């Protein structure tokens, strides 16, 4: 009986692990979930493979974030049913595209996914609504317990974590708007000048990416450096809780 139940479940395909972590908190065990991109892949430049196309074609629903994943747009064209989180939320083109790292936008995603899953499996719609309400309450609790970082600045290797740090009250300096691109001497001088004027208490590196500039500036200007994974494999509430703890532990003391 259990095997038959599992076999009858709808398949939800997503591009990256963080999206799986978000939607799985809502859908629970009522769907099968499959992450298309390898865990080590950079979603900004990932090239879609034939095997990816087959996985998406077999899925009842395909979900990707939007502008941050050009490959997701290609896969969307061949999916039975496709959802872009950006279009789902009707976000502006000027909005930071790393939706899965923005606590406020994630709450919007949770509501929309809850409604969508309710149309796929109507008999469980109340469960999805309950899961959504609970997950949002956990996010609110985490954010409400954050110590406002007003007056403190953080330097990021690129803009992925900007929404999270701004939500926590930090002023944000960004090394490069384009991930993976090393800044030139002019940008490094600009950063040095900005650091001298601000209370920079933290530098943030991203798992799996070069962080020479941030580490070099930290040695020169004596601020701490931490590493966060923008392609986390946990559910969102666990990621958010652990990230906030890591950030606050690193910034409890001034420079």
My answer on whether 137 and 193 are in the same domain is no
Contact criterion met (CB below 8 Å) for 132 and 151: no
Closest CA to 35 of 249, 225, 232: 232
Q: 117 and 8, same structural domain?
A: yes
Are residues 159 and 116 part of one domain?
Answer: no
- Whole-prediction pTM: 0.91
Q: Which residues contact 15 (CB under 8 A, 6 or more apart)?
A: 35, 36, 37, 43, 63, 64, 65, 69, 71, 72, 75
Same domain, residue pair 18 and 124: yes
Tokens of 95: 């909005």
Please tell me the predicted confidence (pLDDT) of residue 246. Answer: 97
Q: Are 30 and 48 members of one domain? A: yes
Q: What is the pLDDT of residue 253?
A: 58
Q: Are residue 239 and residue 122 in the same domain, yes or no?
A: no
Point out the domain boundary residue: 144, 165, 180: 144
The DSSP call for residue 171 is E
Full residue range of the structural domain in which residue 70 is found: 2-144
Indicate the residue among 96, 124, 144 that finishes a domain: 144
Here the CATH number for the domain that contains residue 30 is 3.40.50.1980
**15-34: b or e for each residue (b if 16 or more CB lie within 10 Å)?**
bbbbbbbbbbbbbeebbebe
Among 176, 38, 160, which residue's Cα sits nearest to residue 101? Answer: 160
Angle 139-141-143 from CA coordinates, rounded to 5°: 70
| 157 and 104 part of one domain | no
d(CA 64, CA 50): 18
Between the two ends of the chain, the Cα-to-Cα distance in Å is: 60
Chosen domain end from 144, 172, 197: 144
Number of domains present in the structure of the chain: 2
pLDDT tens-digit profile, the chain (255 residues): 444 444 468 999 999 999 999 999 999 999 999 999 999 899 999 999 999 999 999 999 999 999 999 999 999 999 999 999 999 999 998 999 999 999 999 999 999 999 999 999 999 999 999 999 999 999 999 999 998 899 999 999 989 999 999 999 999 999 987 766 677 888 889 999 999 999 999 999 999 888 999 999 999 999 999 999 999 999 999 999 999 999 999 998 544
Q: Which of 184, 179, 234 shows the shortest CA–CA distance to 206?
A: 179
Same-domain check for residues 32 and 128: yes
- Are residues 139 and 159 both part of a single domain? no
Q: In this predicted structure, what is the pLDDT of residue 103?
A: 97
How many other C-beta atoms lie within 10 A of the C-beta of residue 188? Answer: 15
Q: Same domain for 126 and 161?
A: no
């Amino acid at each position: 009986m259990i095997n038959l139940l599992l076999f009858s479940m709808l398949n939800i395909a997503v591009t990256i692990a963080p999206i799986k972590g978000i939607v799985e908190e809502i859908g629970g065990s009522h769907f099968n979930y499959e992450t298309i991109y390898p865990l080590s892949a950079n979603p900004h430049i990932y090239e879609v493979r034939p095997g990816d196309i087959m996985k998406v074609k077999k899925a009842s629903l395909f979900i990707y974030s939007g502008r941050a994943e050009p490959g997701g747009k290609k896969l969307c064209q061949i999916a039975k049913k496709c959802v872009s989180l950006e279009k789902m939320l009707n976000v502006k083109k000027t909005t930071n595209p790393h939706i899965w790292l923005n606590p406020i936008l994630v709450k919007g995603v949770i509501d929309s996914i809850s409604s969508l899953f309710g149309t796929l499996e109507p008999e469980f719609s109340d469960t999805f609504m309950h899961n959504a309400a609970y997950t949002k309450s956990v996010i609110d609790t985490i954010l409400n317990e954050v110590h406002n970082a007003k007056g403190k600045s953080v330097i990021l290797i690129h803009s992925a974590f900007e929404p999270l740090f701004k939500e926590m009250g930090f002023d944000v300096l960004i090394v490069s708007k384009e991930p993976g691109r090393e800044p030139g001497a002019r940008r490094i001088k600009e950063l040095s000048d900005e650091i001298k004027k601000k209370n920079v208490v933290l530098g943030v590196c991203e798992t799996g990416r070069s962080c020479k500039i941030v580490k070099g500036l930290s040695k020169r200007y004596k601020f701490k450096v931490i590493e966060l994974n923008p392609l986390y494999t946990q559910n969102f509430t666990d990621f958010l809780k652990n990230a906030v703890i890591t950030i606050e532990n690193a910034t409890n003391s001034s420079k």
